[in-house]
Amino acid sequence: MASASRATPDKLPAWQTLKQHAEELKGVHLKTLFGSDQSRWSNFTRQVAGLTLDLSKQRWDDDTLEHLLALAHDAGVPGAIDSLLSGKRVNVSENRPALHTALRLPADATLNVEGEDIVAGVHESLAQMERLVCRLHAGQWRGATGKPIRHVVNLGVGGSDLGPLMVTHALADCRPDDIHPVEVHFASTMDGSQLADYLSRFNPETTIFVLSSKSFTTIDTLSNANTARDWLLGRLTQQGDFVSTPAVSAELIVRQHFIGVSASPQKMSEWGIAPDHQLTFWEWVGGRYSLWGTIGLPIALVIGMDHFRELLAGAHAMDRHFREAPMEDNLPVLLALAGIWNVNFLDIRAHSILPYDGRLEYFAAYLEQLEMESNGKSVTRQGQAVSYSTCPVLWGQLGPNAQHAFYQLLHQGTQPVVCDFIAPLKRYDEVEDPDTRRHLKSQHRLALANCFAQSRVLMLGDDALEDDGPRPEHKRYRGNQPSTTVLLDKLTPHSLGALIALYEHKVFVQAVIWDINPFDQWGVELGKQIATDTQAIIDGEGDVSRMDASSRGLIEAFWAAEQNE
Ligand code: F6P
């Protein structure tokens, strides 16, 4: 990481140069930049690990990139990349490394961290996960009444939910054929609504729960876990409707129906998870960076271990590129610099993630946590308030659906927004029926046409039309909205791994330049603490009169509703 004594980024000479340069470029429309440079596509496009990154529709030119690269150098990005990948304690507020990249190192690699090679342990944890996956896939894992498992419900939230949810959805096509059919589901919300649905539909004899929680203290997950445990105990310890064999012991039920995944084996044991059904990982894996290890169990259950290892290999290919490629060709560095330019110099603080492939439905939700929990910070690594903007507001949805929802604002609103368009080049080759394949391939072409058209209209505005005749103002498009397009050769475990790692490293590079710590999340702690106090008051164990008028009014409304039940 950059040295503790380094100047804040806005004091670096390159920052000042960029400010001046932004003034000069401010009035220049993107269409003019394209008009004056025929080689923009080749100048601003790079390819690696099955990904093509097109940054030509950013509102910048060759000089901008040169100044941004100087800023990255001055901010110490090359040294910081080395610190991250070699296991230095880059998470300063928690005094530990952030070693998610170690989770995807090949088995024959070595990584010495503070005197210990950690790669063997990583691969042992993967092997342990594989053993559980194999038992479930072989139909050998039996519930307490002896039946093979049909439903696996992941109970987790944040990083213990979003990564596995996103990847299992994206790669559902990769499911191996020759396995006992195990369906994977996710319940995250503390209000129990997802869980309630599963409990109303699933047979407790053939359902198991994975308690996924790095800390194993998250109330959202533990409240779901307690409800699930009582549901199982209530149904399987007596001769209920579901039970086909004599009732079984509570101990056996908890043993056979719960797997734990956590960095705290002690807390898993205290909850009752059997030691051989515990998968562990390390404090040096951040929650939102954890899908690559045992938190990825739901992923391995859906796509199989071979594909899971391809996902790791794709991410590792991006890690190597991140370490080895010169900054001007380094995809995560370039993507990060485009973001810095937009936020800090063009004052664009809204960023939309728009995949044109239904399999990437949860990608935006995943990135919302990755980017905003990592870089939604306002103090430097040394604890000083920053005097510049950091992470933009990031949100998204499947692009084709968002076209019918919020694209109006992108095209004609008052707010500048930068967009990331993401799409695979090839799709549906494996569909067997020729007619269906033809139809689906034409739908894929339709989606790509829309993806390319939208970024073009956002860039050119009215000039996208050949005949830009007279029209009323409400039918005019000003364009000049910047965007990035990421093309995947094909959506595979390998390319998805590379794509996720691309964004992880982009977030890191931005954090280095902003001089913030992307690996902690202290901003969420106060809310948890106040929620605990509020719960006590709601339960009648605290003094409601100490609260502000609004919070008191809300609690009293709840009490009144309860009394009317
Ligand atoms: O509250 C935020 C957070 O700590 C996230 O960083 C994390 O991914 C999520 O909660 C879940 O945490 P855990 O895996 O410890 O249950």
Q: Is any atom of ligand 1 closer than 6 Å to the C-beta of 163?
A: no
Would you say 507 and 518 are in contact if contact means Cβ atoms under 8 Å apart?
yes
| Arithmetic mean of pLDDT, 445-472 | 93
pLDDT, average across residues 384-393 = 97
When pLDDT is averaged across residues 431-451 and rounded to a whole number, the result is: 98
- Residues 422 and 530 both lie in one domain: no
- pLDDT averaged over the chain? 96
264 lines ligand 1 (CB under 6 A): no
Task: Determine whether 102 is exposed, middle or buried from the number of CB atoms within 10 Å of its CB (0-12, 13-18, 19+).
Answer: buried
Say if ligand 1 is within 6 A of residue 154 CB: no
Instruction: Give residue 347's domain range.
Output: 9-74+325-466+473-520
- Tokens at 171, concatenated: 């790669």
- For the chain, the distance separating the N- and C-terminal CA atoms, rounded to the nearest angstrom, is 57
* Domain shared by 378 and 282, yes or no: no
| pLDDT tens-digit readout, 346-381 | 999 999 999 999 999 999 999 999 999 999 999 999
| 346, 440: one domain | yes
Q: C-alpha angle with apex 300: 335 to 518, nearest 5 degrees? A: 35
Task: Tell me the C-alpha distance between 479 and 494, whole Å.
Answer: 35
Which residue in this structure is represented by tokens 């790509």? 448
Distance 214 CA to ligand 1 centre (A): 7
Percent of the residues in the chain that have a pLDDT greater than 90, as a whole number: 93
Q: Verify that 393 and 480 share a domain, yes or no.
A: yes
Provide the 8-state DSSP code for 325. S
Write out 393-429 in H/E/C secondary structure.
EEEECCHHHHCCCCHHHHHHCCCCCEEEEEEEEECCC
Q: Which of 36-40, 240-244, 247-251, 469-473 has the lowest mean pLDDT?
A: 240-244
Count Cα neighbours of 2 within 13 Å in the Cβ-side half-sphere: 25
Is residue 300 scored above 60 in pLDDT? yes
pLDDT higher than 60, residue 244: no
Pocket test for ligand 1, best of 93, 214, 294 (most atoms within 8 A of CB): 214
Instruction: Assess whether the C-beta atom of 157 lies below 6 angstroms from ligand 1.
Output: yes
pLDDT 10s digits, 199-224: 999 999 999 999 999 999 999 999 99
530 Cα to the center of ligand 1, angstroms: 17
pLDDT for 151 equals: 98
User: Which one, of 126, 428, 180, 511, lies nearest residue 306 by Cα?
Assistant: 126
Q: Which whole number is the average pLDDT over 14-27?
A: 97
Q: What is the C-alpha to C-alpha distance for residues 565 and 557, in angstroms, rounded to an integer?
A: 13
Residues with catalytic function: 373, 404, 528
309 domain-assigned = no
Tell me, yes or no, if the pTM score tops 0.85: yes
Mean pLDDT of 380-404: 97
User: Do 40 and 140 fall within a single domain?
Assistant: no
Q: Let me know if residue 108 belongs to a domain.
A: no
- What percentage of the chain carries pLDDT values higher than 70? 97
Domain check: are 273 and 422 in the same one?
A: no
Ligand 1 pocket, mutate which of 93, 100, 157 (most atoms under 8 A from CB): 157
Residues with Cβ within 8 Å of residue 256, at least 6 apart in sequence: 141, 142, 143, 144, 208
Other Cβ atoms closer than 10 A to 128: 15
| Contact indicator for 377, 335 with CB cutoff of 8 Å | no
Using a 6 Å cutoff on CB, does residue 221 contact ligand 1? Answer: yes
Residue 151 has phi, psi (to 5 degrees) of: -120, 130
**Residue identifier of the C-alpha nearest atom 3 of ligand 1:** 158
Neighbours of 19 (CB within 10 A): 13
**What tokens were used for 72?**
């990255």
Model pLDDT, residue 246: 60
Beta pairing partners, 54: 45, 485
Q: Which atom of ligand 1 is nearest to the CA of 290?
A: 8
- Whether pLDDT at 1 is above 60: no
pLDDT band at 239 (very low <50, low <70, confident <90, very high): low
pLDDT of residue 469: 77
Query: Is 555 within the bounds of a domain?
Result: yes
Binning pLDDT at 50, 70 and 90, where does residue 470 land?
confident
Q: How far is the CA of 19 from the centre of ligand 1 (A)?
A: 37
- The CATH number of residue 527's host domain is 1.10.1390
Q: Ligand 1: does its nearest atom lie under 6 Å from the Cβ of 287?
A: yes
pLDDT at 247: 67
The reply to whether 354 and 291 lie within a common domain is: no
The verdict on 292 and 417 lying in the same domain is no
**For a substitution probing ligand 1, which of 188, 218, 282 has the most ligand atoms within 8 Å of its CB?**
218
Give domain status of residue 199, yes or no: yes
Predicted local confidence at residue 367, as pLDDT: 98
In the predicted model, what is the mean pLDDT of residues 236-256?
A: 77
554 and 493 part of one domain:
no
How far is residue 264's CA from residue 271's CA, in Å, rounded to a whole number? Answer: 11
For residue 282, the CA-to-ligand 1 centroid distance in Å is 14
Distance of CA 82 to the CA centre of its chain: 23
Å from CA of 524 to ligand 1 middle:
9
Give the CB-side neighbour count of residue 162, counting CA atoms within 13 A.
18
Alpha helices in 491-524 (DSSP H): 493-514
CATH of the domain at 375: 3.40.50.10490
The pLDDT value given to residue 2: 46
Q: What is the pLDDT of residues 504-528, one digit of tens each?
A: 999 999 999 999 999 999 999 999 9
Residue 527 counted as domain residue? yes
Q: Is residue 89 part of a domain?
A: no
**Domain identity same for 398 and 488:** yes
* Residue 240, pLDDT above cutoff 90: no
Same domain, 482 and 409: yes
Is the pLDDT at 4 greater than 70? The verdict is no
Number of domains in the chain: 3
Residues 197 and 262 in one domain: yes
CA 158 – ligand 1 centroid, Å: 5
Flag whether 440 is in a domain.
yes
Each residue of 158-180: pLDDT tens digit?
Answer: 999 999 999 999 999 999 988 88
Q: Taking 90 as the threshold, does the pLDDT of residue 565 lie above it?
A: no
Closest-CA residue, ligand 1 atom 1, reads 524
